[in-house]
């Protein structure tokens, strides 16, 4: 049987751009490559009239029971020059106002994705000079300040900078070990001076870096309310609570001017359409940014400005399980104009702004109303004071240098706030179990309700008592949210969706998974041994999931206590196949609907069709979850804040774009770099000050690298000492037990993000072939015990040489097949590169994964992965084949090298996916040979492979054997499989 799949097209078109050796398969592909990689498009903009405006109105400070005392200086010298520029009305240099046609419409452009893009007509981020005067259209940015290419100040040379960066930021070497290294280098090279005299010398050089220098400041907060007239005064009423922070204005200006973000910033709100349908992607593509620009543009002096929202996030984190004060409360800030891919890629697009105070008190006072009120007031007063430097520039633009080298008049605004539910309740000043966005009652969160707002809360305050507000509206009436002191800010409109806590860890892990376990125990309560048997089988099914790049392994099922967000994400990928057959179909469908919802809202681009799918998935989930109520597992209903939050996702996506750039997983990941690792590097004695210095040094090194990189001062090979240290670090065990992606050899990287612009997808063989194997195809076939390999390869070659033949190679007589006499090479893997912006990818949305086909995986069992093969342009799985790769090889014939794969095909079991899981079902193609079952094999060109595929065995109601079946041989033991569309987000987009 001959499978139809997209024909191989050789790469014949070479890019002639200087230094580029890329080969493309078509003239169209060459054009797209040239436009995407080698051409910087000019951003043409209209100019509009404006007039001077008075300074922004003053805002009162919060009226609370707290007192702020600002410390004039930090306890160590951390200088921070503040950039400022004279404010100037939007006029030309001649002084005449700019002329604009009446009724100006949004400017429309078309990008390489054939999308129509409308940009805001008034806040269009017109480039200006340092004094705020607009530049002419197409005017180039001012030349960068001259810099000596040999000046790596404060470092003497590039090698010392790289060494300091490696030791401090990458390897995190301790001060004692730095001194030991210096002594060793001095002993090895006695005639040369060491790179540093000591760790103190290295630290002083890092502290002297001018780039990225934003000083830490502090202020103290004390209680100023009524104290008890008799009895002891609680300690928290007399204590000073210290808050450390960095000026968010300086932090944002560093991000706006970061050259690394040049291609990842939206300078103006925009609306994206494709084929007439609206698309939502980054924050600036949503309705909120456009509406904010409309409000700002009421003041004509802001016309032509750049709108720059700040995305905030805060969350307590624990750094140690030891006794004592081990909690910290970091506050993060990110420029809302940067693309979601940058915010998720941990490329300094999310910055540590401060550490909020965590008030503590004795057990008898911690639940008192006074202490709870003070704790809330302290939080909001701290935020208001930290962000106060931004307030003047929320109404009056500030001239700022941007990443593309131009100056623009920037106007700031408070953007979405990333927080989990307890933090959302604190931010919105609401009672626990109420919704921070709407007024739905906690006993019926899915009932009709109106949206909350500052205006609505003010009306309630004028009408009702504090007790009525608490009981009937869920409002903490004696507290004012910090957003009330900033223009155009309403905290109820700024609550961001939280994929991690609301869907993955909340609705999926804490609700559905626990409810299914409770159901199994409930239905088998008369035979508890049966319940334990079924739960153990579910664990075995989870542990038997075949390996796949990026898939988390569960050797013991889900029988462990310390769950993380990544554990929940990993379980979500394999859970459906594990429970199907053990629980009612409605339960499986409820889980499938929720996971579908999660993967849909997690997409990088969400259009109107996807929004309709999201709403349909949510409706299915609400319909099928009733099975938990009907079976008595959830008799009290589903009035749960985290589940209720899902109903707001469609509207929040329209407001803020795709939620994957606003998820709390971003801030939780930042905890590791900004809090946990700096804490471990401290001496644990008053560690906060040491953590602040560590963060500042890391930021300075990163800023210096960006500065040197933009001037091409880091090109060239590394010095031998750094290369040796990298090799040593990559081969020895580390106390952190993890290696940076750059430290792992490329051949061993299972998957990961790729930096650079979007390019065409491709699959290529590994760089090195397997040694000590026969190079003749007949000898190789005997060595591998694949005796049909020569014939299958010859039939493949016949198809390549005669693509238009009436009879395919599978039907040609053996004596008419070409003879292969060229060299044959075998490879253990192939590398797929593809566009997958919804997964962890580079700033251009590119990602790579390794497809394995080898006799022994890390000295153990064989590993033969599965792949998707393009069949047609039909949507979803109907346009794909699935096959299992048993050999990667290449051979040479008449001067042409053919990269190939020997595969076993899979055929669908039905014309539609499984109605319960939503996944397609397949079985391997086999045939009977002398009474024995043999796989149907075929040789295909590597170019026909799209990427890796993941299959999960279908067990139904049968229990898996206790021994003999695991993840290494599951693909050989099951008779049929699910095509796992939940393996990652790209698979969900192509295998539905």
pLDDT digits (tens, 9 = 90+) for 285-337: 999 999 999 999 999 999 999 999 999 999 999 886 554 558 899 999 999 99
Beta carbons within 8 Å of 547's beta carbon, 6+ residues apart: 553, 852, 857, 863, 865, 967, 968
CA dihedral 84, 85, 90, 94 (to 10 degrees): -170
Q: Are 140 and 423 in contact (CB under 8 A)?
A: no
Which tokens in the block code for residue 743?
């430290």
What was the pLDDT predicted at 12? 56
Q: Where are the beta strands (DSSP E) in 914-991?
A: 921-924, 926-929, 932-935, 937-941, 945-949, 951-953, 977-979
Q: Return d(Cα 771, Cα 820) in angstroms, integer.
A: 20
Beta carbons within 8 Å of 493's beta carbon, 6+ residues apart: 288, 453, 655
Which tokens in the block code for residue 415?
């953007």
Q: Which residues sit opposite 900 in a β-bridge? A: 889, 941
DSSP code, position 580: B
Dihedral pair phi/psi, residue 597, rounded to 5°: -60, -45
Say if residue 19 is exposed, middle or buried (CB neighbours under 10 Å; 0-12, 13-18, 19+): exposed
Which tokens in the block code for residue 530?
């049966």
CA dihedral 7, 10, 12, 16 (to 10 degrees): 110
Q: Return d(Cα 658, Cα 661) in angstroms, integer.
A: 7
Q: Return d(Cα 740, Cα 737) in angstroms, integer.
A: 10
Whether 92 has a pLDDT exceeding 50, the answer reads no
Q: Mean pLDDT across the stretch 732-736? A: 36
What was the pLDDT predicted at 24? 62
Q: Return d(Cα 85, Cα 504) in angstroms, integer.
A: 46
Q: Are 497 and 633 in contact (CB under 8 A)?
A: no
**What pLDDT digit, counting tens, does each position of 867-895 carry?**
999 988 899 999 999 999 999 999 999 99
Q: Return d(Cα 869, Cα 880) in angstroms, integer.
A: 6
Least confident of 132-141, 503-512, 584-593, 717-726: 717-726
In which element (H, E) is residue 353 found? strand 351-355
Report the alpha-carbon angle 876-880-885, nearest 5. Answer: 135
Which tokens in the block code for residue 976?
């049929």
C-beta neighbour count of 548 within 10 angstroms: 27
Q: Mean pLDDT across the stretch 956-975? A: 93
Closest Cα partner for 117 from 475, 550, 581, 605?
A: 605
What was the pLDDT predicted at 50? 34
pLDDT band at 33 (very low <50, low <70, confident <90, very high): low
Whether 51 has a pLDDT exceeding 90, the answer reads no
What was the pLDDT predicted at 285? 97
CA distance to 148, 152, 746, per residue, from 144 (Å): 12, 17, 36
Say if residue 214 is exposed, middle or buried (CB neighbours under 10 Å; 0-12, 13-18, 19+): buried
Whether 736 has a pLDDT exceeding 80, the answer reads no
Which tokens in the block code for residue 440?
């739905």
Q: Return d(Cα 738, Cα 729) in angstroms, integer.
A: 11
DSSP code, position 348: S
Which tokens in the block code for residue 585?
């179909």
The single residue listed with the structure tokens 């049929």 is 976
Q: Mean pLDDT across the stretch 27-47? A: 44
Whether 724 has a pLDDT exceeding 50, the answer reads yes
CA dihedral 16, 21, 24, 29 (to 10 degrees): -60
Q: How far apart are the first and last CA of the chain?
A: 26
Q: Are 633 and 308 in contact (CB under 8 A)?
A: no
In which element (H, E) is residue 764 found? strand 762-765
- DSSP sequence for 634-653: TTT----HHHHGGGGHHHHH
Beta carbons within 8 Å of 398's beta carbon, 6+ residues apart: 84, 85, 87, 249, 409, 410, 411, 412
Whether 539 has a pLDDT exceeding 90, the answer reads yes
Closest Cα partner for 89 from 136, 134, 30?
A: 134
Say if residue 37 is exposed, middle or buried (CB neighbours under 10 Å; 0-12, 13-18, 19+): middle
Q: Return d(Cα 901, Cα 889) in angstroms, integer.
A: 6
What was the pLDDT predicted at 757? 78
Least confident of 100-109, 612-621, 714-723, 974-983: 100-109
Q: Order of strands across the sheet with 306-314?
A: 66-71, 216-223, 241-246, 351-355, 330-335, 306-314, 407-418, 398-401
Closest Cα partner for 833 from 854, 816, 814, 850?
A: 850
Highest mean pLDDT among 132-136, 185-189, 914-918: 914-918
Q: Are 524 and 530 in contact (CB under 8 A)?
A: yes
Q: Return d(Cα 244, Cα 74) in angstroms, integer.
A: 9
What was the pLDDT predicted at 250? 96
Asked, as a colleague might, if the bond just before 154 is cis with ω within 30 of 0, I would say yes
Question: Angle 585-601/649-656 helices, nearest 10 degrees?
Answer: 10
Higher pLDDT, 359 or 562: 359
Q: Mean pLDDT across the stretch 3-23? A: 57
Say if residue 274 is exposed, middle or buried (CB neighbours under 10 Å; 0-12, 13-18, 19+): middle
DSSP code, position 350: S
Whether 73 has a pLDDT exceeding 50, the answer reads no
Question: Radius of gyration (Cα) for the chain, nearest Å?
Answer: 31
Whether 595 has a pLDDT exceeding 90, the answer reads yes
Higher pLDDT, 84 or 336: 336
What was the pLDDT predicted at 939? 96
Higher pLDDT, 804 or 983: 983
Whether 840 has a pLDDT exceeding 80, the answer reads yes
Q: Mean pLDDT across the stretch 468-489? A: 94
Closest Cα partner for 260 from 317, 364, 341, 171?
A: 341
Q: Which residues sit opposite 852 in a β-bridge? A: 829
DSSP code, position 607: E
What was the pLDDT predicted at 78? 36
Mean pLDDT of the chain: 86
Higher pLDDT, 602 or 84: 602
Q: Is-above-0.75 flag for pTM?
A: yes
Per residue, the 3-state secondary structure of 24-60, as one string, reads: ECCHHHHHHHHHHHCCCCCCCCCCCCCCCCCCCCCCC
What was the pLDDT predicted at 3? 65
Least confident of 285-289, 624-628, 666-670: 666-670
What was the pLDDT predicted at 440? 95
Q: Are 856 and 762 in contact (CB under 8 A)?
A: no
Q: Return d(Cα 478, Cα 497) in angstroms, integer.
A: 27
Whether 85 has a pLDDT exceeding 70, the answer reads no
pLDDT band at 928 (very low <50, low <70, confident <90, very high): confident
Largest CA distance in the chain: 108
Whether 664 has a pLDDT exceeding 70, the answer reads yes
Q: Return d(Cα 231, Cα 124) in angstroms, integer.
A: 62
Instruction: Determine if residue 550 is left, alpha or beta; phi over 0 gives left, psi from -120 to 50 gives alpha, anything else beta.
Output: left
Q: Return d(Cα 640, Cα 443) in angstroms, integer.
A: 9
Q: Mean pLDDT across the stretch 828-836? A: 94
Q: Are 951 and 546 in contact (CB under 8 A)?
A: yes
**What pLDDT digit, counting tens, does each position of 93-114 carry?**
444 344 443 456 677 777 657 8
Share of the chain above pLDDT 70, in %: 84
């Amino acid at each position: 049987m001959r499978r139809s799949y997209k024909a191989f097209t050789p790469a014949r078109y070479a890019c002639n751009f200087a230094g580029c050796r890329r080969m493309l398969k078509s003239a169209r592909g060459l054009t797209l490559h040239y436009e995407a990689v080698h051409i910087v498009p000019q951003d043409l903009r209209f100019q509009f009239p404006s007039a001077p405006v008075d300074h922004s109105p003053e805002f009162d400070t919060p009226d609370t029971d707290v007192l702020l005392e600002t410390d004039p200086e930090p306890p160590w010298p951390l200088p921070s020059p503040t950039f400022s520029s004279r404010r100037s009305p939007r006029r030309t240099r001649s002084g005449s106002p700019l002329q604009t046609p009446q009724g100006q419409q949004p400017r429309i452009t078309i990008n390489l994705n054939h999308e129509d893009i409308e940009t805001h007509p008034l806040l269009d981020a017109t480039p200006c000079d340092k004094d705020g005067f607009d530049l002419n259209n197409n005017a180039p940015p001012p030349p960068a300040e001259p810099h000596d290419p040999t000046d790596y100040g404060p470092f003497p040379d590039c090698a010392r900078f790289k060494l300091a960066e490696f030791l401090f930021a990458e390897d995190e070497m301790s001060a004692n070990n730095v001194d030991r290294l210096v002594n060793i280098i001095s002993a090895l090279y006695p005639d040369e001076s060491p790179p540093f005299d000591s760790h103190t010398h290295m630290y002083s050089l890092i502290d002297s870096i001018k780039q990225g220098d934003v000083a830490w400041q502090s202020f103290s907060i004390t209680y100023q309310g009524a104290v008890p007239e008799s009895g002891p005064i609680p300690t928290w009423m007399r204590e000073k609570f210290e808050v450390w922070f960095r000026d968010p204005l300086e932090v944002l200006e560093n991000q706006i001017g970061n050259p690394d973000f040049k291609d990842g910033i939206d300078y103006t709100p925009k609306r994206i359409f494709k084929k007439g349908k609206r698309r939502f992607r980054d924050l600036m593509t949503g309705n909120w940014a456009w509406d904010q620009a409309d409000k700002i543009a009421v003041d004509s002096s802001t016309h032509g400005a750049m709108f720059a929202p700040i995305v905030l996030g805060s969350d307590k984190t624990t750094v140690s399980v030891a006794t004592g004060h081990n909690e910290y409360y970091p506050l993060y800030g990110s420029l809302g104009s940067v693309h979601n891919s940058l915010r998720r890629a941990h490329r300094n697009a999310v910055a540590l702004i401060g550490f909020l105070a965590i008030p503590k008190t004795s057990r008898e006072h911690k639940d008192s109303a006074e202490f709870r009120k003070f704790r809330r007031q302290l939080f909001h007063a701290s935020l208001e004071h930290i962000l106060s430097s931004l307030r003047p520039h929320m109404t009056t633009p500030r001239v700022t240098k941007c990443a593309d080298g131009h100056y623009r008049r920037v106007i700031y605004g408070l953007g979405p706030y990333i927080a989990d539910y307890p933090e959302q309740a604190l931010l919105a000043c609401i009672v626990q179990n109420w919704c921070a966005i709407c007024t739905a009652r906690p006993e019926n969160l899915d009932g009709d309700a109106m949206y909350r707002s500052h205006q609505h809360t003010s009306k309630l305050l004028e009408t009702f008592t504090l007790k009525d507000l608490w009981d009937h509206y869920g409002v903490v009436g004696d507290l004012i949210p910090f957003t009330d002191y900033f223009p155009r800010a309403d905290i109820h409109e700024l609550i961001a969706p939280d994929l991690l806590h609301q869907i993955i860890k909340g609705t999926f892990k804490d609700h559905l998974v626990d409810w299914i376990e409770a159901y199994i125990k409930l239905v088998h309560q008369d035979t508890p041994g049966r319940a334990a048997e079924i739960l153990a089988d579910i664990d075995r099914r989870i542990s038997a999931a075949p390996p796949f790049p990026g898939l988390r392994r569960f050797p013991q099922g889900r029988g462990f206590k310390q769950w993380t967000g990544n554990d929940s994400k990993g379980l979500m990928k394999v859970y459906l196949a594990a429970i199907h057959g053990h629980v009612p179909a409605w339960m499986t469908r409820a889980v499938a609907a929720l996971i579908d919802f999660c993967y849909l809202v997690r997409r990088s681009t969400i259009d109107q069709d996807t929004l309709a799918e999201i709403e349909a998935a949510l409706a299915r989930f609400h319909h099928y979850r009733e099975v938990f109520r009907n079976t008595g597992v959830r008799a009290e209903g589903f009035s749960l804040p985290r589940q209720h939050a899902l109903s707001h996702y469609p509207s929040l996506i329209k407001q803020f774009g795709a939620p994957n750039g606003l998820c709390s997983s971003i801030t939780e990941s930042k905890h590791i770099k900004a809090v946990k690792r700096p804490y471990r590097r401290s001496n644990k004695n008053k560690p906060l000050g040491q953590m602040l210095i560590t963060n500042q040094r890391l930021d300075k090194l990163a800023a210096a690298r960006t500065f040197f990189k933009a001037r091409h001062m880091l090109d060239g090979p590394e010095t031998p000492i750094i290369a040796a240290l990298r090799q040593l670090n990559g081969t020895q065990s580390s106390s952190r037990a993890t290696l940076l992606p750059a430290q792992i050899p490329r051949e061993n990287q299972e998957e990961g993000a790729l930096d650079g612009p979007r390019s065409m997808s491709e699959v290529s063989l590994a760089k090195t072939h397997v040694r000590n194997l026969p190079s003749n195809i007949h000898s190789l076939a005997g060595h591998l015990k694949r005796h049909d390999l020569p014939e299958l390869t010859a039939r493949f070659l016949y198809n390549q040489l005669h693509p238009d033949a009436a009879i395919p190679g599978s039907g040609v007589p053996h004596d008419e097949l070409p003879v292969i006499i060229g060299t044959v090479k075998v490879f253990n893997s192939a590398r797929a590169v593809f566009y997958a912006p919804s997964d962890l990818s580079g700033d251009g949305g590119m990602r790579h994964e390794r497809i394995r086909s080898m006799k022994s995986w890390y000295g153990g069992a064989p590993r033969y992965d599965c792949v998707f093969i393009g069949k047609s342009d039909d949507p979803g799985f109907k346009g794909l084949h699935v096959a299992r790769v048993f050999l990667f090889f290449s051979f040479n014939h008449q001067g042409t090298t053919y990269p190939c794969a020997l595969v076993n095909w899979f055929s669908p079991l039905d014309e539609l996916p499984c109605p319960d899981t939503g996944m397609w079902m397949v079985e391997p193609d086999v045939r009977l040979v002398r009474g024995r079952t043999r796989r149907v094999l075929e040789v295909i060109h590597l170019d026909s492979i799209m990427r890796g595929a993941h299959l999960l065995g279908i067990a139904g109601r049968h229990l898996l054997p206790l021994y003999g079946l695991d993840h290494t041989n599951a693909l050989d033991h099951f008779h049929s499989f699910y095509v796992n569309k939940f393996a990652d987000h790209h698979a969900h987009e192509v295998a539905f």
